[in-house]
Structures are given as structure tokens and as C-alpha cells.
């Protein structure tokens, strides 16, 4: 690998290799390896997959989990249990993790780091077929780089943690939501289940030989039919290099059609009603509104130190900001969690025109 390319890649992944051959191996696709007698990146990809799984889990737990003793002093009868923020359970963590580590996200990150796939070593056949442009190739490269870092650093935890954070840019997605074009299949399924109590049916067809369309060499076609009132229907089709890509394109066409025609839910449908909204479900409710792109991802600012009221009582401050709506709420409460919950609750009240059922007393 050329010196300038090596320097660029190492800057993007926040790691400097001692053994530069390992980085070369991470960029060696199996077709090139077979043609030239090199070792491919497949084993490194396996290692990187496990590294990614572990450190993303660690990051999520550090963000949403805590020991009870870190929040308050325990009585002699209490156990020091490990807890998560209310309304964040196993299924929530699984969905967040899935959004961070699926092939779409990993390929997206490879592109945003400067299209690192352009540095891949590809065999002649793979070059002709433009394999480097495929989502899975880019995702595999992401994992192979992490695998190479694991071996080169002798599994140094700090190095691996720092590279995962840098390569995924996790804080950005926590604060701003995940890439917007990843959820069309899921969003369409949610709408379909709500309307028809079942999931949409997709019909797959392989295209012999494939053909070039919209800058992609498409090998698969996926079709689905939306049936409306009085037996009316509309057909949608998606094309792609893989079945999943074709299904995504099909779902995207269908979902955008529903959006244009006004068939989708409004923010009122996705937000808890005034009587159902509480401080305990406010953080999760606000996050869901952001993930569904009704609002920008809320930002929470909590200073490191306590403040004191006029009577000398210690209080924690939290500021919740919804930039897209120009909404900002500052709350003081007896602990961080309560301050964050109430700030989120008040932001939803401002957003939806709800009355504060706690009338400010929750902050004391």
C-alpha cells in the first residue's frame, strides 16, 4: 500500500499499525488473494465481527446502564443491582445495536471515512463486476480492519474501543439519529401490520445475466402489491444487486408513495396521548419521535457538578434541546435521572401543547 494511502487510512480509523502487512491483508479480497497467493481478509473479518459485537455492547451498556449505588446511597436491606434507564429494555438495546452494526451502516461508514473501498485489492473478475461497490464488500472491509487492529494491538482494549468509536462515530448517531434511509423495510412493515394485521409479501425474481440501471448492475427484482379499499391496488418494484437491496428499493418506493398520498401516521399517532404521557415514558417517547424523523434527536446537557438552590439544597440540572423545533427546557431535580426525565417530559408538552400534569412540583 502506498505511503499516502496508508497515512490516510490510519487517520480515519484512529490507529497506527506496527505491522503494516496486516492492514494490507485487511484490504485483500478473496479473489485477489487466490490469484496472487496472498492471505485474504476473511479471517480478519470474522475477528472484527466479534470485536464489533463486544464493544458496541459495551458502549450501549455504559450509556444506558448503571449500578444502583452510583445513583444514591443504599440501605442495608438493598442489593447493589445493575439497572438500565426506564423504558430501555433488552429489545430496545437489541434494536439500537442492530442499527449500529448491520451491513448498511458499516458500508455507509466506509464511504463516509473517504470511500476506503477504493483501496481494496481485487481480483480481475471482481474488478470487472465492481464488487467493491457492493454493500457487503464494504461491510466486510469494516470488520476486517477491526480484526487487523485486534491482532496488531494484541487485543489492546483501549485501542479497540477507540477505533470502534472513531470508525462508527457512535456519538453522532446517538445525538442525531441513524442514517435516514435504513428503515424503509421496517417502516413499511410497521404501517402494514397496523393497517392489515400482517406483514407485506415480497415476490423475488432473479434476473438472468442482470442489467445496468441507475448506476447499479442489478441481479434481482422484488415486487409487492398494496391493496386498498374496494379492491384497488398499486404495484411496486425494486431492483438491486442482492435480494435485500432489491427489497429495500421496493419498500422505499411503496413507503414514499404512502407518504405522498397522506396514508402515513401523523406525529399525533406516534406520540403518547396527554393522559398517557408520564416522566417515566418521556425519554423513550421523545427518542421514538426523533427516530421516526418527526423532530431532531433530542440533546441532553447535564453539568458534571451539582448546583444549589436558595435554601442550600443540592440539585442536578438537565437541559433538553430539540433543535428542529426551537424547544429548550431546563430542569433542576434531586438526581440526574429525574432531571433528564422531567426535561424530556416538558419538551413533549411544549411540542404537543400538553399541560404539565406535575405542575412543576417534580423538580423539587
What does each C-alpha distance from 85 to 68, 89, 93 come to in angstroms?
A: 11, 8, 11
Long-range pairs for 9-15 at CB < 8 Å and ≥24 separation? 9/116, 9/119, 12/113, 12/114, 12/116, 12/166, 12/167, 13/113, 13/145, 13/149, 13/163, 13/166, 13/167, 14/162, 14/163, 14/165, 14/166, 14/167, 15/149, 15/152, 15/153, 15/159, 15/162, 15/163
* Pairwise CA distance, residues 26 & 77, whole Å: 53
* Pairwise CA distance, residues 150 & 323, whole Å: 39
Cα–Cα nearest to 329, from 316, 338, 340: 340
The residue annotated as part of the active site, out of 24, 45, 140, 143, is: 143
The residue annotated as part of the active site, out of 49, 140, 245, 249, is: 49
Query: Which letter does DSSP use for residue 86 in this model?
Result: T
49 catalytically annotated: yes
276 catalytically annotated: no
* Pairwise CA distance, residues 67 & 338, whole Å: 16
Query: Which letter does DSSP use for residue 334 in this model?
Result: S
Contact 140, 117 (CB under 8 A): no
The catalytic site residues sit at 49, 143
Amino acid at each position: 500500500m502506498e505511503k499516502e494511502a496508508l497515512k490516510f487510512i490510519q487517520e480515519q480509523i484512529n490507529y497506527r499499525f506496527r505491522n503494516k502487512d496486516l492492514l494490507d491483508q485487511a484490504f485483500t479480497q478473496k479473489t485477489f488473494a487466490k490469484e496472487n497467493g496472498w492471505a485474504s481478509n476473511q479471517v480478519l473479518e470474522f475477528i472484527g465481527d466479534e470485536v464489533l459485537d463486544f464493544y458496541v455492547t459495551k458502549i450501549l451498556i455504559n450509556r444506558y446502564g448503571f449500578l444502583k449505588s452510583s445513583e444514591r446511597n443504599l440501605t442495608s436491606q438493598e442489593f447493589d443491582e445493575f439497572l438500565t434507564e426506564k423504558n430501555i429494555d433488552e429489545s430496545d438495546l437489541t434494536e439500537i445495536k442492530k442499527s449500529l452494526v448491520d451491513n448498511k451502516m458499516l458500508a455507509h461508514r466506509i464511504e463516509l471515512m473517504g470511500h476506503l473501498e477504493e483501496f481494496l485489492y481485487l481480483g480481475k473478475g471482481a474488478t470487472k463486476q465492481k464488487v467493491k461497490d457492493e454493500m457487503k464488500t464494504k461491510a466486510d472491509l469494516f470488520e476486517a480492519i477491526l480484526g487487523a487492529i485486534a491482532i496488531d494491538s494484541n487485543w489492546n482494549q483501549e485501542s479497540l474501543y477507540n477505533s470502534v468509536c472513531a470508525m462508527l462515530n457512535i456519538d453522532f448517531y446517538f445525538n442525531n439519529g441513524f442514517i435516514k434511509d435504513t428503515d424503509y423495510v421496517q417502516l413499511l412493515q410497521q404501517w402494514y401490520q397496523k393497517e392489515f394485521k400482517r406483514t407485506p409479501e415480497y415476490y423475488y425474481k432473479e434476473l438472468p445475466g442482470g442489467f445496468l440501471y441507475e448506476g447499479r448492475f442489478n441481479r434481482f427484482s422484488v415486487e409487492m402489491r398494496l391493496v386498498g379499499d374496494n379492491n384497488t391496488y398499486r404495484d411496486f418494484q425494486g431492483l438491486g444487486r442482492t435480494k435485500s437491496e432489491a427489497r429495500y428499493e421496493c419498500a422505499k418506493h411503496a413507503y414514499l408513495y404512502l407518504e405522498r398520498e397522506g396514508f402515513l401516521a401523523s406525529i399525533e399517532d406516534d406520540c403518547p396521548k396527554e393522559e398517557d404521557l408520564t416522566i417515566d415514558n418521556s425519554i423513550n417517547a421523545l427518542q421514538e419521535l426523533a427516530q421516526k424523523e418527526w423532530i431532531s434527536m433530542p440533546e441532553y446537557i447535564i453539568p458534571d457538578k451539582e448546583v444549589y438552590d436558595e435554601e442550600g439544597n443540592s440539585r442536578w440540572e438537565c437541559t433538553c434541546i430539540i433543535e428542529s423545533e426551537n424547544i429548550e427546557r431546563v430542569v433542576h431535580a434531586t438526581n440526574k435521572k429525574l432531571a433528564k426525565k422531567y426535561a424530556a417530559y416538558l419538551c413533549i408538552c411544549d411540542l404537543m401543547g400538553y399541560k404539565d400534569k406535575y405542575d412543576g412540583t417534580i423538580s423539587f
